Chains A and B, each alone.
Chain A
Amino acid sequence: MGKLFAAAVTVIALVSAGIFLSRVWWLPPDFTTLGKDIDGQLVETMIFTGVLFVAAQLALATFVWQSTSRTAAIRVFPGGPMPLVATASVIVGLEILSLVFVGTKVWSKIFLAPAEANALHIDVQAGQFAFYFRYPGPDGKFGVPHPDKIDEGNSNFFGLDPQNDTAARDDIVSASLVVPVDQPVLLTMHSKDVGHSLYIPQLRLQQDFVPGLVIPVHFTATGVTKTEIVCTQLCGLGHYNMKAYLEVLSRQDYDKWLAAQAGQ
């Protein structure tokens, strides 16, 4: 029985590792300047944890196998339980710290570095159960949003006050995130109601919306594509249906799109 268990553990560990090594389930191709770094970081983490995982499972299987073949005495860690716990804590601590140090470089590029100075600023609002994207319009200025003026029936999703706020009059609101290719983009993300999350696998971008906070994220899309944006934070009844599209267009197509939007 023990030998069967040892064999099963070995097979499960090796098959699991094999699935990752042969990339059966992998991420979709990336369309972002940070894609290489993020995927590199993912692979590093995978190797780091993968080697430990396989080693630990094989060690477990070996000990189980041995213990069934003879009546082995249970050996004690030198010095007793205290040094055992201390040694384990140091080893696990070192492992986690090294992962953090290696990962910080990429993380800081996304979350600590500011967006490029020429970034296209798009305001993103999540609400039950849709995303809306706001562009500043020809004047280059965003109108000030007033939550009390939100009136979805009249397409005023951001609560703008065009009567008194001239900057708000030409703001362009779209249900799709449309950006030009190779253009740095800055998103300022805020929620109208509860927590949501913006997940764009092809941009390797996933960021929560937190009610009350304006959260900046930035990216540069490197290929013309159309892909899905989904909400990955359970936000209520219609969560399954909360999605939008990201369209990365050539500069000319983007300009055309923007001009058509401004004319509406």
Chain B
Amino acid sequence: MKIATSVALCALATLALAPSAHHTAGGTVTGKVTFTGTPPKMKPIDMAKEPSCAKAHTIPVMNESVVTGAGNSLGNVVVYISAGAPAGAPPATAATFDQKNCQYLPHVLAMEAGQKLEIKNDDQTSHNIHPLAKVNAEWNKSQPPGSPPIEATYDKPEFIPVKCNVHPWMHGYFAVLNTSHSKVTGDDGEYSLSGLPPGKYTVTAWHERFGTQSQEVTITGTETAKLDFVLKATEY
């Protein structure tokens, strides 16, 4: 009885501590992505031609290809396990990509190859979503206001630029990865990949303008390894 209770408690504690419900207990890699050098100046987006979207933004929307925070932290970086990740079926939940107020939310969407992708249109205007895939099949689909979500799946890993054929400023990325161990950084640049069983891993950070960087890390138990990335920013 006693043993059963402590096992149950342990399991509960593990569940509560695990940051991602998807992954079982294990080691964690955590860190921060920053940049050196001068990043380009992001410009505000003029949505005048689409009044329903322009009205929705009281503060001008900035181009999101370079998002930075305090202490040179870098957002919209995909940090993921590029080698050594434990194999497993892709997550059952769909990755959601939303078109809202003529912006892509999120700007960069990470998903595992084979995972279901759901694209929504929350605007009062039509969008034409066009992921410019090279390895996977390329398609573009119109999505008038009020249409049901578009469902798609990408089978091969690839970083796919996404654009809207109607609104030239709309631009984002699908990061189709071989793993579900991934995180897209916010403007604080921080990431955490948990639930890693013991083993040797390659962790890669990818940014749409500043390129990729990889580092290796070995997990022996349930420890938290710290791995920071410093990407080189270019102004132009």
- List residues of A whose CB falls within 8 A of some B CB: 127-131, 152-155, 157, 161-163, 173-176, 237-238, 241-245, 264
CB distance from A107 to the nearest CB of B (A): 30
Tell which of A152, A157, A174, A241 touches B163, judged by Cβ atoms closer than 8 Å.
A152
Q: Is the CB of B168 within 8 A of A127?
A: yes
Q: Is the CB of A163 within 8 A of B236?
A: yes
**Further contacts, 11 of them, CB under 8 A, given A173-B43, A238-B165:** A129-B165, A129-B168, A130-B49, A152-B163, A153-B208, A155-B42, A157-B168, A161-B236, A176-B46, A238-B166, A245-B48
Closest to A241 in B: B166
Q: Is the CB of B171 within 8 A of A152?
A: yes
Chain A residues, CB < 8 A from B235: 163
Closest to B63 in A: A155
Provided the pairs A155-B45, A162-B236 are in contact, do residues A130 and B171 lie with their beta carbons within 8 angstroms? no
Tell which of B41, B43, B126, B208 touches A241, judged by Cβ atoms closer than 8 Å.
B126
CA distance A115 to B40 in the complex (A): 36
Q: Is the CB of B43 within 8 A of A155?
A: yes
Chain B residues, CB < 8 A from A176: 46, 48
Q: Is the CB of A153 within 8 A of B48?
A: no
CA distance A176 to B45 in the complex (A): 11
Q: Is the CB of B48 within 8 A of A175?
A: yes
CB distance from B197 to the nearest CB of A (A): 37
**Interface 1/0s, chain B 45-68, versus A by CB < 8 A?**
111111000000000000101000
Q: Is the CB of A175 within 8 A of B166?
A: no
**Is B125 on the interface with A (CB-CB < 8 A)?**
yes
Determine the interface band of chain B, counting residues with CB < 8 A from chain A.
Answer: 20 to 34
Tell which of A127, A131, A154, A238 touches B63, judged by Cβ atoms closer than 8 Å.
A154
CA distance A128 to B167 in the complex (A): 9
Closest to A150 in B: B168
Closest to B43 in A: A155
CB distance from B23 to the nearest CB of A (A): 32
Provided the pairs A152-B163, A153-B163, A154-B65 are in contact, do residues A130 and B168 lie with their beta carbons within 8 angstroms? yes
Q: Decide if the interface of chain B is mainly helix, strand, loop or mixed.
A: loop
**Is B128 on the interface with A (CB-CB < 8 A)?**
yes
CA distance A129 to B163 in the complex (A): 12
Provided the pairs A127-B168, A152-B163, A237-B165 are in contact, do residues A175 and B128 lie with their beta carbons within 8 angstroms? no
Q: Can you name 18 A-B pairs with beta carbons within 8 Å? A: A128-B165, A129-B168, A152-B168, A153-B172, A154-B171, A155-B63, A162-B236, A175-B49, A176-B48, A237-B165, A238-B128, A238-B166, A241-B126, A243-B49, A245-B49, A264-B41, A264-B43, A264-B44
Closest to B236 in A: A163
Among B40, B142, B169, the most chain A Cβ lie within 10 Å of the Cβ of B169
Chain A residues, CB < 8 A from B41: 264
Chain B residues, CB < 8 A from A243: 49
Chain A residues, CB < 8 A from B49: 130-131, 175, 241-245
**Is B32 on the interface with A (CB-CB < 8 A)?**
no
Q: Is the CB of A241 within 8 A of B50?
A: yes
Q: Is the CB of A152 within 8 A of B65?
A: no
Closest to A154 in B: B65
Tell which of A130, A163, A237, A244 touches B167, judged by Cβ atoms closer than 8 Å.
A130
Closest to A168 in B: B236
Closest to A176 in B: B48
**Is B19 on the interface with A (CB-CB < 8 A)?**
no
Closest to B126 in A: A241
Among A130, A244, A245, the most chain B Cβ lie within 10 Å of the Cβ of A130
Chain B stretch 77-126: residues in CB contact (< 8 A) with chain A: 125-126
CA distance A243 to B47 in the complex (A): 11
CB distance from A258 to the nearest CB of B (A): 14
Q: Is the CB of A153 within 8 A of B171?
A: yes
CA distance A163 to B167 in the complex (A): 26
Chain B residues, CB < 8 A from A264: 41, 43-44
CB distance from B206 to the nearest CB of A (A): 15
